[in-house]
Amino acid sequence: MSEQNVFVASPEAKSKALRLRIFAFLAWILAMAGQVYAIFNLISNDKMMWLIGAIVVILALAVLGNFLWKKSNRLDPASEKDGVKFFIQNQLGAFMGVLAFLPLAIFIFTNKDLDGKTKGIAGSVAVIAMLAAGISGVDFNPPSVEKYTKEINAQTKTLEDLNVGNNVYWASAGNKYHINRDCHHIKNKSNLSNGTVKESFEQKGISELCKTCKKNAEKVSLTMPE
Protein backbone atom coordinates (compact mmCIF):
# COMPACT_ATOMS: atom_id res chain seq x y z
CA MET A 1 0.00 0.00 0.00
CA SER A 2 1.52 3.31 -1.08
CA GLU A 3 0.07 5.52 1.61
CA GLN A 4 -0.78 4.93 5.24
CA ASN A 5 -4.02 6.45 6.51
CA VAL A 6 -3.85 7.83 10.05
CA PHE A 7 -7.11 7.94 11.99
CA VAL A 8 -8.36 11.39 12.99
CA ALA A 9 -11.78 11.69 14.60
CA SER A 10 -14.08 13.87 12.51
CA PRO A 11 -15.54 17.09 13.98
CA GLU A 12 -18.95 15.38 14.03
CA ALA A 13 -17.55 12.40 15.94
CA LYS A 14 -15.73 14.67 18.39
CA SER A 15 -18.92 16.68 18.96
CA LYS A 16 -20.98 13.55 19.58
CA ALA A 17 -18.29 12.15 21.87
CA LEU A 18 -18.30 15.39 23.88
CA ARG A 19 -22.07 15.19 24.34
CA LEU A 20 -21.83 11.57 25.45
CA ARG A 21 -19.11 12.46 27.96
CA ILE A 22 -21.22 15.27 29.38
CA PHE A 23 -24.17 12.88 29.81
CA ALA A 24 -21.84 10.29 31.35
CA PHE A 25 -20.63 12.80 33.93
CA LEU A 26 -24.22 13.83 34.65
CA ALA A 27 -25.11 10.18 35.30
CA TRP A 28 -22.08 9.79 37.57
CA ILE A 29 -22.89 13.01 39.43
CA LEU A 30 -26.45 11.83 40.02
CA ALA A 31 -25.06 8.52 41.27
CA MET A 32 -22.79 10.37 43.70
CA ALA A 33 -25.69 12.55 44.81
CA GLY A 34 -27.76 9.43 45.42
CA GLN A 35 -24.96 8.01 47.49
CA VAL A 36 -24.73 11.14 49.63
CA TYR A 37 -28.49 11.07 50.17
CA ALA A 38 -28.35 7.40 51.14
CA ILE A 39 -25.50 8.01 53.59
CA PHE A 40 -27.25 10.83 55.43
CA ASN A 41 -30.87 9.70 55.21
CA LEU A 42 -31.19 5.95 54.65
CA ILE A 43 -28.62 4.17 56.79
CA SER A 44 -30.85 2.87 59.55
CA ASN A 45 -32.44 -0.43 60.55
CA ASP A 46 -35.97 0.64 59.65
CA LYS A 47 -35.00 2.01 56.21
CA MET A 48 -33.05 -0.98 54.91
CA MET A 49 -35.37 -1.63 51.96
CA TRP A 50 -35.20 2.02 50.95
CA LEU A 51 -31.41 1.84 51.23
CA ILE A 52 -31.28 -1.22 48.99
CA GLY A 53 -33.58 0.52 46.51
CA ALA A 54 -31.26 3.53 46.47
CA ILE A 55 -28.29 1.24 45.84
CA VAL A 56 -30.06 -0.24 42.82
CA VAL A 57 -30.77 3.25 41.42
CA ILE A 58 -27.17 4.35 42.02
CA LEU A 59 -25.93 1.22 40.25
CA ALA A 60 -28.14 1.92 37.23
CA LEU A 61 -26.82 5.48 36.99
CA ALA A 62 -23.20 4.37 37.35
CA VAL A 63 -23.56 1.69 34.67
CA LEU A 64 -25.30 4.16 32.35
CA GLY A 65 -22.43 6.61 32.82
CA ASN A 66 -19.92 3.86 32.06
CA PHE A 67 -21.79 2.84 28.90
CA LEU A 68 -21.90 6.41 27.60
CA TRP A 69 -18.25 6.99 28.43
CA LYS A 70 -17.11 3.87 26.58
CA LYS A 71 -19.23 4.82 23.59
CA SER A 72 -17.64 8.28 23.52
CA ASN A 73 -14.16 6.75 23.56
CA ARG A 74 -14.97 4.71 20.48
CA LEU A 75 -15.88 7.86 18.61
CA ASP A 76 -12.90 9.88 19.83
CA PRO A 77 -10.20 7.54 21.18
CA ALA A 78 -7.00 8.46 22.96
CA SER A 79 -3.54 7.73 21.61
CA GLU A 80 -1.41 4.99 23.13
CA LYS A 81 1.58 7.35 22.91
CA ASP A 82 0.35 9.20 26.01
CA GLY A 83 0.14 6.25 28.39
CA VAL A 84 -1.31 8.14 31.35
CA LYS A 85 -4.09 9.83 29.36
CA PHE A 86 -4.81 6.60 27.51
CA PHE A 87 -5.24 4.66 30.76
CA ILE A 88 -7.31 7.31 32.53
CA GLN A 89 -9.59 7.97 29.56
CA ASN A 90 -10.33 4.30 28.99
CA GLN A 91 -10.61 3.14 32.60
CA LEU A 92 -12.23 6.20 34.20
CA GLY A 93 -15.57 4.37 34.40
CA ALA A 94 -14.10 1.71 36.67
CA PHE A 95 -12.87 4.36 39.08
CA MET A 96 -16.17 6.24 39.03
CA GLY A 97 -18.11 3.02 39.53
CA VAL A 98 -16.16 2.14 42.65
CA LEU A 99 -16.34 5.72 43.94
CA ALA A 100 -20.13 5.67 43.62
CA PHE A 101 -20.31 2.95 46.32
CA LEU A 102 -17.13 2.78 48.40
CA PRO A 103 -18.00 5.57 50.88
CA LEU A 104 -21.52 4.16 51.24
CA ALA A 105 -20.22 0.66 51.94
CA ILE A 106 -17.78 2.03 54.52
CA PHE A 107 -20.52 4.00 56.27
CA ILE A 108 -22.78 0.95 56.38
CA PHE A 109 -20.17 -1.37 57.89
CA THR A 110 -18.87 1.21 60.39
CA ASN A 111 -22.24 2.54 61.57
CA LYS A 112 -22.64 1.61 65.23
CA ASP A 113 -26.42 2.07 65.19
CA LEU A 114 -27.04 -0.70 62.64
CA ASP A 115 -27.71 -4.24 63.78
CA GLY A 116 -25.80 -7.18 62.34
CA LYS A 117 -28.57 -8.23 59.97
CA THR A 118 -28.87 -4.80 58.37
CA LYS A 119 -25.11 -4.46 58.07
CA GLY A 120 -24.84 -7.91 56.52
CA ILE A 121 -27.61 -7.49 53.95
CA ALA A 122 -27.21 -3.82 53.03
CA GLY A 123 -23.42 -3.99 53.18
CA SER A 124 -23.28 -7.05 50.95
CA VAL A 125 -25.63 -5.46 48.42
CA ALA A 126 -23.48 -2.30 48.39
CA VAL A 127 -20.27 -4.29 47.87
CA ILE A 128 -21.80 -6.38 45.07
CA ALA A 129 -23.12 -3.21 43.41
CA MET A 130 -19.68 -1.59 43.76
CA LEU A 131 -18.03 -4.56 42.06
CA ALA A 132 -20.64 -4.59 39.29
CA ALA A 133 -20.25 -0.85 38.69
CA GLY A 134 -16.46 -1.09 38.70
CA ILE A 135 -16.32 -4.05 36.32
CA SER A 136 -18.83 -2.44 33.96
CA GLY A 137 -16.50 0.55 33.74
CA VAL A 138 -13.42 -1.47 32.80
CA ASP A 139 -12.62 -1.42 29.10
CA PHE A 140 -10.93 -4.75 28.40
CA ASN A 141 -10.29 -3.84 24.76
CA PRO A 142 -9.80 -0.08 24.79
CA PRO A 143 -9.87 1.78 21.48
CA SER A 144 -6.93 3.89 20.40
CA VAL A 145 -5.81 6.04 17.50
CA GLU A 146 -3.19 3.41 16.70
CA LYS A 147 -5.67 0.51 16.65
CA TYR A 148 -8.05 2.45 14.44
CA THR A 149 -5.21 3.44 12.09
CA LYS A 150 -4.17 -0.20 11.75
CA GLU A 151 -7.76 -1.27 11.08
CA ILE A 152 -8.34 1.46 8.49
CA ASN A 153 -5.25 0.44 6.54
CA ALA A 154 -6.15 -3.24 6.74
CA GLN A 155 -9.64 -2.51 5.41
CA THR A 156 -8.28 -0.23 2.69
CA LYS A 157 -5.91 -3.02 1.65
CA THR A 158 -8.90 -5.38 1.44
CA LEU A 159 -10.58 -3.04 -1.04
CA GLU A 160 -7.37 -2.78 -3.04
CA ASP A 161 -7.15 -6.58 -3.23
CA LEU A 162 -10.76 -6.68 -4.45
CA ASN A 163 -9.89 -3.99 -7.03
CA VAL A 164 -13.02 -1.95 -6.23
CA GLY A 165 -11.50 1.43 -5.45
CA ASN A 166 -11.96 3.22 -2.15
CA ASN A 167 -15.43 4.72 -2.34
CA VAL A 168 -17.86 3.09 0.08
CA TYR A 169 -21.37 3.70 1.40
CA TRP A 170 -22.82 3.52 4.88
CA ALA A 171 -26.17 4.19 6.53
CA SER A 172 -26.66 6.29 9.64
CA ALA A 173 -28.05 3.31 11.55
CA GLY A 174 -25.76 0.64 10.10
CA ASN A 175 -22.53 -0.88 11.40
CA LYS A 176 -20.99 -1.94 8.07
CA TYR A 177 -19.83 -0.13 4.98
CA HIS A 178 -20.80 -1.23 1.48
CA ILE A 179 -19.02 -1.29 -1.86
CA ASN A 180 -22.20 -1.26 -3.92
CA ARG A 181 -24.80 1.48 -3.58
CA ASP A 182 -27.41 -1.04 -4.76
CA CYS A 183 -26.60 -3.63 -2.09
CA HIS A 184 -29.96 -4.90 -0.82
CA HIS A 185 -28.99 -4.04 2.76
CA ILE A 186 -28.98 -0.30 1.97
CA LYS A 187 -30.78 -0.09 -1.37
CA ASN A 188 -33.96 1.50 0.01
CA LYS A 189 -32.30 3.73 2.57
CA SER A 190 -32.21 7.45 1.88
CA ASN A 191 -29.87 8.56 4.68
CA LEU A 192 -26.68 7.24 3.11
CA SER A 193 -23.19 8.69 3.28
CA ASN A 194 -20.28 7.83 1.06
CA GLY A 195 -16.55 8.33 1.14
CA THR A 196 -13.37 6.40 1.84
CA VAL A 197 -12.96 3.63 4.38
CA LYS A 198 -11.05 6.14 6.49
CA GLU A 199 -13.98 8.56 6.40
CA SER A 200 -16.48 5.84 7.32
CA PHE A 201 -14.32 4.99 10.31
CA GLU A 202 -13.77 8.57 11.41
CA GLN A 203 -17.37 9.67 10.99
CA LYS A 204 -19.26 6.59 12.14
CA GLY A 205 -16.73 4.16 13.59
CA ILE A 206 -17.51 1.57 10.89
CA SER A 207 -14.71 -0.91 10.34
CA GLU A 208 -16.39 -3.91 8.73
CA LEU A 209 -17.14 -4.56 5.08
CA CYS A 210 -20.58 -5.89 4.21
CA LYS A 211 -20.22 -9.64 3.60
CA THR A 212 -22.67 -9.53 0.68
CA CYS A 213 -20.69 -6.78 -1.03
CA LYS A 214 -17.43 -8.63 -0.42
CA LYS A 215 -18.80 -11.90 -1.80
CA ASN A 216 -20.12 -10.16 -4.93
CA ALA A 217 -16.82 -8.35 -5.46
CA GLU A 218 -14.90 -11.62 -5.13
CA LYS A 219 -17.15 -13.23 -7.78
CA VAL A 220 -16.51 -10.34 -10.17
CA SER A 221 -12.78 -10.54 -9.50
CA LEU A 222 -12.72 -14.25 -10.35
CA THR A 223 -14.47 -13.71 -13.68
CA MET A 224 -12.21 -10.85 -14.80
CA PRO A 225 -9.46 -11.76 -17.27
CA GLU A 226 -5.94 -11.51 -15.97
pLDDT (tens digit per residue) in 146-191: 999 999 998 888 898 888 888 999 988 888 999 998 899 998 887 8
- Kindly tell me if the per-residue pLDDT of 58 is higher than 60: yes
Q: What share of the chain is helix, strand, coil (3-state, %, to 5)?
A: 65, 5, 30
Nearest to 225 by CA among 160, 156, 159, 163: 163
Dist CA 167 CA 95 (whole Å): 42
The mean pLDDT of 97-109, rounded to a whole number, is 97
